[in-house]
Structures are given as structure tokens and as C-alpha cells.
Chains A and B, each alone.
Chain A
Amino acid sequence: MKKSTWLISVLLLSSSMALAACGDNNAEGPDNDETDGQEAINEQNNNESNEDGNNNGNDNENNEPAGEAQSGGTITAGMYSAPDHQFNPLFYTTAYDANILDLTFESLVKQDENLEFIPSLAHDWEFNDEFTELTYYLEEDVTWHDGEPFTADDVVFTYTSIADPDYVSAGGVRTNYASTLLGYEDYVAGDADTLEGVEAIDDHTVQFTFTDPNIKALADTSFYIVAEHILGDIPVGEMAEHSSAYTADEIIGTGPFNLTDYQEGEQYILDSYEDYWQGAPYLDSVVWQVVDEAIMTGMLQNDELHLLNRPGGVPAADADDVEAMENVEILEMQDLGYQYMAFKHHHGPNDSLLDKDTWVPNEKVQDVELRRAIAHAINREGFVDGLMYGAGQVMHATFPEASWAYNEDAPIKYDYDVDRANEILDEAGYEWDGDFRTNPEGGEFTLNLDYPTGNEIRERVAPIIQENLQEVGIQVNLNSPREASAHFDRVEENDTEMDMFLAGWSLASGDPDPSGYFLSTAAYNYPRYDDETFDQLMLEAITAPDAFDQDYREEKYNEWSEYFSEQLPVIPLYSQNVIYAHNANLHGITFKTHQILDDAHLWWLEQ
């Protein structure tokens, strides 16, 4: 049973969702422009192990003891954009806020290097035989930053708040953490006074009950836990605006560091929490600085920056320069996220985006032969080798190499092959007429392509796709890039002019389940793709009881990948590696595929 482990899909993942999900919460600004910021996510998460990603990590792990861990010291960590200043975990949206929250808040369980769930605030847990009940046994000596003890009531409070009827309207986007709990529907509708699915058995035991056997139960219960004694009196609808969401000293968590001061958009000072339950952190404080990508390398060289985290990391083009610095070590890891070019298969009215009856097919992209020709025409190998200096992989299905569902042989591969693309188009009846091809009916044929700013590689990719497609006679109308949040608003809304768009998914989770954004009924089904077989394969892969067997899931995902590559509802482009950098004197960081911040109390600085 513990075989199925779950992900804490909080980080990037969440940031993406946020953007995607909250058109009215426009606090994002340019933050979301970073690679990971804007995209939506997959929350699920079961994982067995992921050799590739981790080996990579271990090989480069040169943090071995340069001696005894030393106490004291302050490190500066860098990120490229400022947080949103929403430090209430229930409502935060960007990966930049998560950089701070990961040091100040904790969850019941977290994931290790192999993306297996390991104890955090809960030291043990057990399922019932049907996998409908999950009981956690909590650590007993945990205290909040203000000294109050942490109890099961805080857990109940956290999940009840997420299920609150006012949660979504107040800007919350994490309902997926509560929606599988028993009684969620009643509670969220206001028909019940308590949420049946989460219950404090005693001070240090808490039990979750799910409506159906849940193969992702651990992931669903791995959200940050917030303090009831701090937030309990604030109505959920007002939490996001309350001073406890942005005032440094009022942000009370259980984590090893405590946000004590910040200058908006410049730096965020986190001091160590001496009574941290796993022992006082070695470092005195961690300072997050918002730095410009252009001066980042210089700061690393001058010891002004000790750690560079994602989103972003070191641009691949600068990696060699940074690696050559004697005082800096870098670590390249495969990412679980990827970039893609989607086709808008349907257009539908804004007020019923998910009502398939109202969808109108976009005739231009219905022809699967056209989509295959396009896949052959795009020079994806060139993107990875040229634009990313080889620090990435070409994607043929939606699972990057870092994922356990990756199977090199499952999907059909569309290599860069202009002749083949021309052949397919000729056969499908797209005749040349002057410089470009007509559609099979002989009419003019132009595809509109939209893309966002922010991710530099992706910005460069867009004009090259236009060029690649024009080479095989497909006329592409490349719209000016928009700021990311505007782009995603546009993608979410009904825009009948849009035929294709570029975007990415940040999958912080080890679980490959794509149903959160590919299922035809999913809010993140941006391409508005609708195919029964496609949906069915995805659902089979996560339906208990079969899905508790990893091999079964793998098989289903292979089938799904193959079907996906036949139909090509979107063209997966590439997965870009994350390149972390840290000062050679900073030790003790565990680099995990999904995040690096959850062992911060073990970091130490050689002095």
C-alpha cells in the first residue's frame, strides 16, 4: 500500500494552477513569466522511483562533508522575480511565494529523492483495507513559531478551510486537496456544518476518509498545514486579504525558518526558528533576494549569492561559465515539466467552457494528418541542441524522461523530416498555391499561433516554428507575444481566432497522471480536445483497485502515450533541464527532482 506514494504537488505546480485558474487574481505580474510560473499543473502523483532524474542528481552531488557541520552564517538565495506577497499557504499562487513558504511551513508527509512519501509532521500513517481511510500519527513535539503546540486540530482546520464554501471565491485554487474527502460536496455547498472526511481522533492522531478508494491519498493530504490559533477566527473569505497573509511576523508556521522582515520586491529575510522540532537549523538566516538574470552570474562569482533555485535556475547558455567558477557548483537535473504547442480543437462560449455540447470544432486543425505533418516539420531536435545547448530532451509523448511513465518505445516518434511532412501534406490534399498550401478544399489556409513572453527559450522557439512550418507551405500568422498572464487568460477564454498556442506544464509531482489537464472535462483542457478513448485510458490508469499496481498503470500509460502520439492533440516540444547553482561553501542541500528546500535545517555554511 505504501507502494503508492504521493506527491506534494505544492510548488511550481501550484503556481501554475494559480495563474491558470484565477483570471481575476491578477497579482501575478511578470512573476509568472518564468518558465514555471504560468502553466497549469498536474496534481496527482504516485511514484515508484525515477532513476534517471535521481541518478543525475546523485552523480553530481558533491556536497559530501567538507567536515563537521558548522553552525551560524547567513546565506543569500536568488530568484528572478518577486513573490506576490501572499504568504498564506492556502491562497498563495506563484512559485516565488513558494520559495518562502517551503521554508516556513510543513506538511504531514513529504517526498524524498525517489519521490516516495516520507514522514514529516506525521511520523507514521496507515490505510484501511479499502483505501478509503487514512490515519496519520503526528509528531508530538512540534511547535508553531509563536511557541503554541501543533495538534491534529490544525490539520482539520487546514482541510476544512480548503473545503469552505467561500474558499474559491476568495481566490483559493487548491480544492483538489479536499475534493476527494467524504462529505466535501455537502460542506462546500453549505449543507453541512463539519467536513466529514477529516477528523481529529485525539491531539496527535488525525483520520482522513475518502468518498472512493483513493490511489493518490497521500498526495491529497500533503498540503502545508496552517495554524488554527492564528487563522481560526478569520472567515475563510477574508483570509487572503488579512494581515496574516502579508505581515512578516504574523506568518506563523512550523518550518525551520521564520519570515521576520522583507522589503517588497527586493529581499525577504528568514531567521532560523531555534525550537524547530527537528533541531535548530545550522544557518542563522536565509535571505531571498530578487536578482536580475543578467547580473546573477556576477553575484555568484563574488560570493554574493549562495544559491540559485528554480524557477529559472542558471540559463543553459551560461552554465559553462558558471561551472568554471571555482567557488560555485552547479547541478543539472531533468525536469518533470515540459513545453508544448497545442491545437485549439474546439471553441466554446465563455460562460460554459466545460460544457462540451456548446463546443464548435475548429475545422482547421481537425485533420490528424495535418497535425502529424506539423510534428515532422518542427525542428525539435534543433531547439534542444541549439537553443538549450543540449540541456534538455525532445518530447514525443507527455512524459519526460524524469517520469516513471516515460517509455521511449511507447509513442510514435515524429522526427524532424521536411520531406516526410511535405509528403503527408501532399497526400492529404493540401495543394501548393504560390508560396503556401491551400486547405484540401482549395481555400486559403492560415494558422494563427499565440505565445507568451517570459521564458526566453520559448520566445525564441515561436518564430522558428513559424519558419519551419512555412518551409513546408503552411502559412502561420504569428501574433505578438503577450505577457504570460494575458496569454493564459486568452487561452482560457474563447478566442475563435486562436488555432495554436505555446505553453508548458510544470509538473512538480512525480505522478504522471495527466487527467488534470488532458481529460476533456478538465478546466485545464486548454486545447478543448475531446476524445473518448483518450479520456478512458487516462481514467483507467487511476481507477482503484487496479491502479494500485504500478505495472498496470505503466501499461496504461504506454497505451495512452501511443494513442496520444497517433492523435497528437498537442505537440510536445521539449523538456528543459533545471540547472541549480550553489556556493561551494554551502553544504547539506539535498537536490530532489521536485524541490530542494524541504531540508533547509540541515544546510550549513563552511566558514
Chain B
Amino acid sequence: MEKSQSTNPTPEVEKSKSPLQLAMRRFLRNRLAVAGIVIIIIMVSIAVFAPLLAQHDPRQSDLINVMQKPSGENWLGTDSSGRDNFSRLVYGSQVSLLIGFFAMLFTLAIGVVLGSLSGFYGGKVDSFIMRAADLMLIFPFLLLVLTVMAILDRVTIGIFITIIALTTWPNITRILRGTFLSLREKEYIIGARSIGCSDLRIIVKHFLPNAVGPIIVNATIMMATLIIIESGLSFIGFGIPQPTPTWGNMVTEARSLRVLTQHPEAWVPPGLAILLTVLAINFIGDGLRDAFDTKSKM
């Protein structure tokens, strides 16, 4: 086959599909993944058009109307400080998605850089990076995050994302290192090396494009995890401080038995929102994994 290609470059009659197109096709045939995409598109639109959808300022308290039942004025009632639940739900999607997305990007950046260094160079660089990763992994994640949050004066969204990224990078780093390690032994890498390609060029031109599948899949699933982490930390009071609306901050209200039993409108919608978003992202992640898996049948 190689032979025929080299002698006979482009005589195809019917156009064969590129790997990406094949993946796309496989992905679109996965109904759950498509449903996930739809949900995410809806969530993102809600986040983008929040100012149009919300009738109230999500941070504005109204002490005369705390814990109100749903009404024409407050569609989902109000929380314990009289803030409008619907507006908080809508604006909460902005914060939760932003945190999920950017924390994922940040973590990914760290993971890709360290993972490729580790996988490409091996040896001392590899053991150093991997030991650092091990150290982070054995360190109780929650304890570390809580400590850092406690030391800081103000936890803003940016700081929050940074802290999360700096504590969750080892997993993705290890996954990418594994991928790169296996790529390292491939003939085309040896070929590239033999014709004198620089390290950077090999990593950027040959490693990364071939690892794009695992990267995208892991990044997607990680985003779901990060949204859960944000909600969890906010729930126990160590996330983005009130009155910033996040879904986790809203669910916090349900810690009281009274709210839990008598005010489902206060915590069911944000809970559902978290569930749907995370589920949708996971479906997409699964869909992508199957799609990129070249061994899977169409």
C-alpha cells in the first residue's frame, strides 16, 4: 500500500473520509452524545442571554421577602436573604460554566506541557514530574483546597480557577504522559528525529495532533468533574463566596431540613441544572471517546 501511494499519489475516484470526518460521523450516531450537545447548547445560551432572561439582580437582597414561595414576581421564590432564585439560577449558569470551562483549560494547559515533557524526555525529567504528580495525588485534595481558601482574603472566580487547576493537574498529566510514551516509540517519531527535527517541533507537530483524541475526551470529562467540585466546595461554604450566584451556592440552602422539605423550589432547580450539565458533558465525553477510537466499528 505504501508503495502504491508513493508512486501513485492522488488518483482516487471516490473521496475517502478523513479521520476527523469519520469520528464526526461516529459521534453523530451516538444519540446520548447528541442529546448532551443539545443540553450544553441550551445551558450556554441561558448563560449568554442571562441578562435578558432574569427579571432581578441576582445579588440584590430583599429582606422583606425572604424564603418566598414561587409567584409571578419571583418565579422560583426567593432565598434566605430574599434574592430571586430564578435570577440566581440563570446567572449561576454563567459562573458554573465559566469555572468549569476555564478551570478545564488551565488544568489542560498544565497537563499538556508537563505530560509532553515527561513523555518526550523520559528519564530524570519524567521521574521528577511524575514524583511531583504523585505528591499532589497523595495530598488530600479537599484539605489542600480548604487551607488555601482559608488563607486567602478574597476568593474571586479567577483565584478559584487557579487553585482548582493547580490541584487537579496530576491526573490529566499522567494520562497524557502515557499517551506520549507510547507515541515516542512510533516509527514516524523516530523518523522525524532522524531527519533532525527539533524537540519542540516533534512535540508540537507530531505528538500533539496524534494525542488530540485522548486530550479532548479527558478534557471534556474533566470539565464535568470541575463543575461538581465547584458545587461541592460552594456547598460546604468554601467556594465562591455569597452573594455571587453559583449553583453550588444555591444548593447550600438545602442544608436546612426546613428548606429541604418545604422549599424544594429553592434547591431542586439548581440541583437539576448541575445534574443535567454534568451528565450532558459526560455523554459528550463518552461519545467523543468512542468517536476517536479508531478500532470501533461504524
Chain B binds chain A: yes
Q: Is the CB of B153 within 8 A of A379?
A: no
Q: Taking the complex as formed, is B256 at the interface, i.e. its CB lies under 8 A from any CB of chain A? A: yes
Chain B minimum-CB-distance residue to A467: B61
Q: Is the CB of A480 within 8 A of B153?
A: yes
Given contacts A385-B63, A467-B59, 4 further A-B contacts (CB under 8 A): A317-B67, A386-B63, A460-B81, A477-B154
Q: Taking the complex as formed, is B216 at the interface, i.e. its CB lies under 8 A from any CB of chain A? A: no
The answer to whether residues A294 and B64 also contact, given A463-B243, A479-B154 and a CB cut-off of 8 A, is no
Contact of A297 among B149, B150, B153, B257 (CB under 8 A): B257
Q: Taking the complex as formed, is A516 at the interface, i.e. its CB lies under 8 A from any CB of chain B? A: no
Chain B 148-184 per-residue mask, 1 if CB under 8 angstroms from chain A, else 0: 0110111100000000000000000000000000000
Q: Taking the complex as formed, is A387 at the interface, i.e. its CB lies under 8 A from any CB of chain B? A: yes
A321 to B258 alpha-carbon distance, docked (Å): 8
Q: Taking the complex as formed, is A569 at the interface, i.e. its CB lies under 8 A from any CB of chain B? A: no
A486 to B67 alpha-carbon distance, docked (Å): 31
Contact of B150 among A382, A387, A482 (CB under 8 A): A482
Contact of A294 among B59, B243, B256 (CB under 8 A): B256
The answer to whether residues A297 and B258 also contact, given A385-B64, A478-B241, A486-B150 and a CB cut-off of 8 A, is yes
The answer to whether residues A318 and B258 also contact, given A386-B66, A464-B61, A480-B155 and a CB cut-off of 8 A, is yes
Minimum Cβ distance to chain A for residue B78 (Å) = 10
Q: Which residues of B contact A (CB under 8 A)?
A: 59-67, 80-82, 149-150, 152-155, 237, 241-243, 255-258, 260
A-B CB proximity, top 10 nearest: A382-B63, A386-B63, A463-B243, A479-B153, A386-B66, A294-B257, A480-B155, A480-B241, A464-B61, A460-B81
Interface of A is mostly: helix
Q: Is the CB of B149 within 8 A of A480?
A: yes
Minimum Cβ distance to chain A for residue B252 (Å) = 10
Chain A minimum-CB-distance residue to B61: A464
A497 to B152 alpha-carbon distance, docked (Å): 13
The answer to whether residues A386 and B258 also contact, given A463-B242, A463-B243 and a CB cut-off of 8 A, is no
Q: Give the number of residue pairs across the A-B interface with Cβ within 8 Å.
A: 71
Residues of A near B62 (CB, < 8 A) are 386
Chain B minimum-CB-distance residue to A298: B257
Residues of B near A297 (CB, < 8 A) are 257-258
A315 to B59 alpha-carbon distance, docked (Å): 24
A386 to B66 alpha-carbon distance, docked (Å): 6
Q: Is the CB of A294 within 8 A of B80?
A: no
Residues of A near B256 (CB, < 8 A) are 293-294, 315, 317-318
Q: Is the CB of B260 within 8 A of A382?
A: no
A459 to B237 alpha-carbon distance, docked (Å): 10
Residues of B near A404 (CB, < 8 A) are none
Chain B minimum-CB-distance residue to A320: B258
A460 to B155 alpha-carbon distance, docked (Å): 17
Minimum Cβ distance to chain A for residue B14 (Å) = 62
**A-B contact list, 14 entries, CB within 8 Å:** A295-B257, A318-B258, A321-B258, A379-B63, A386-B81, A387-B66, A460-B242, A463-B81, A464-B81, A467-B60, A479-B153, A480-B153, A481-B237, A482-B150
Contact of A467 among B66, B243, B255 (CB under 8 A): B243
Q: Is the CB of B150 within 8 A of A294?
A: no
A335 to B68 alpha-carbon distance, docked (Å): 28
Residues of B near A525 (CB, < 8 A) are none
Within 8 A of B (CB), among A83-103: none
Residues of A near B154 (CB, < 8 A) are 477-480
The answer to whether residues A464 and B63 also contact, given A482-B150, A483-B150 and a CB cut-off of 8 A, is yes
Residues of A near B150 (CB, < 8 A) are 482-483, 486
Q: Is the CB of A386 within 8 A of B260?
A: no
Q: Taking the complex as formed, is A453 at the interface, i.e. its CB lies under 8 A from any CB of chain B? A: yes
Residues of A near B153 (CB, < 8 A) are 479-480, 497
Chain B minimum-CB-distance residue to A318: B258
Q: Taking the complex as formed, is A383 at the interface, i.e. its CB lies under 8 A from any CB of chain B? A: yes
Residues of B near A293 (CB, < 8 A) are 256
A497 to B154 alpha-carbon distance, docked (Å): 12
Minimum Cβ distance to chain A for residue B83 (Å) = 9
